[in-house]
Amino acid sequence: MKKVPTQLIETLKNNETFLLLAHNKPDGDAIGSVIVLGKTLKAMGKTVDYYIDTPVEEKLRFFSEISYFNEHLAAAYDVIVLLDCSTLDHTYQPKQLPDHKVLAVIDHHKSNEAYGDVNFIEITSATAELVYRIATALEIPLDEEMIDAVFTGISTDTGSFQFSNVTSETHEILSQLYRLKTNFAVLSKRLHSEKSYSQMKLYGKAVESMRLFADNTIAWILLTYEDISKYGGPLNITDDIANIGMNTIGVQLSATLKEVDNGEYRVSLRSKSPFNIDVSELAKAHGGGGHIRAAGFTYSGDLEVLKQELRALIEKQRSSENG
């Protein structure tokens, strides 16, 4: 296994009080990483506080360590650790960041500019890989909750070991986790397959609503306000709904619209590699943001106009291909 920076190990060993932060709307990797590092530090006899954006999503609420989140916030800490936060802006933090001697950043995002006093930035599948290596380097044995937390971080950030961020070392870590605990089937199902009845129905409604146009290269998916209300509201819209279009063979560009208020839509755009369609442009033009292949914005105009704008994106790509 690759090394952990000595400076970080020394910082964790030689200080006593720690505040752990993660990004806004923490996902499985943020929560898992925070728990692994928090329990590692506690096992070393350190004082650990967590300041985390809650409530944590339902499927992650089984971690008992969550009960210590936001329990106490001191005016000063030896070290503030930011986990899985590509920038300080993405970090969920108190209005006034407590005094601290050291700001430590542990993250796996390529875009991270190492903005801490101490940094452990490496492009891995998940920040959970990094905290696993930290616990191992510190020779702190993982209890079952920590094992599940490492698994959760990696499994959720890789779409169950399917994304291109998976490496040989990712599976090496998994191989070691399975030596500590032999069965992750129930946890996997919880993280990836299970939905409430309402969530399942909204997913079905989204598939049901899908229409293709522009020679079946654009997928258009719309959840109406009525559908969303009928099945328990926006919280029941699962993330995988935005992938329905992308998982449909032949589709190059997808728009998933959720009518959050009457006539007001939250729009998620996706585009598929290797097609050269930059969806962030359109999102920015509508006051939103994102990346080349995933962007979003709020829209309350004519839906036919939006469809025309999507057609134009496809046309633009075609003419650049032929140009």
Element (H, E) at 256: strand 253-261
Q: Cis (ω within 30 of 0) for the bond into 26?
A: no
HSE, side-chain direction, 13 A CA sphere, residue 268? 20
Q: Which is nearer to a copy of itself, 6 or 162 (by Cβ)?
A: 162
What Rg value do the Cα atoms of the chain yield, rounded?
A: 22
Q: Which is nearer to a copy of itself, 178 or 298 (by Cβ)?
A: 178
- Least separation in angstroms between CB 160 and a copy of itself: 5
Q: Which is nearer to a copy of itself, 6 or 175 (by Cβ)?
A: 175
- Least separation in angstroms between CB 185 and a copy of itself: 4
Strand 294-299 relative to strand 289-290, pairing:
antiparallel
Q: Which is nearer to a copy of itself, 100 or 205 (by Cβ)?
A: 205
Give which of 254, 235, 264, 322 is closest to 56, Cα–Cα: 235
Helix axes 127-137, 144-157, angle to 10 degrees: 150
Element (H, E) at 36: helix 28-43
- Least separation in angstroms between CB 164 and a copy of itself: 4
| Residue ranges that bind a copy of itself, judged by CB under 8 A | 159-164, 166-172, 174-176, 178-179, 182-185, 188-189, 192-197, 200-201, 203-208, 210, 212, 216, 243-244, 247-250
- Least separation in angstroms between CB 211 and a copy of itself: 10
Q: Which is nearer to a copy of itself, 116 or 153 (by Cβ)?
A: 153
Give which of 267, 265, 320, 314 is closest to 289, Cα–Cα: 267
- Least separation in angstroms between CB 230 and a copy of itself: 13
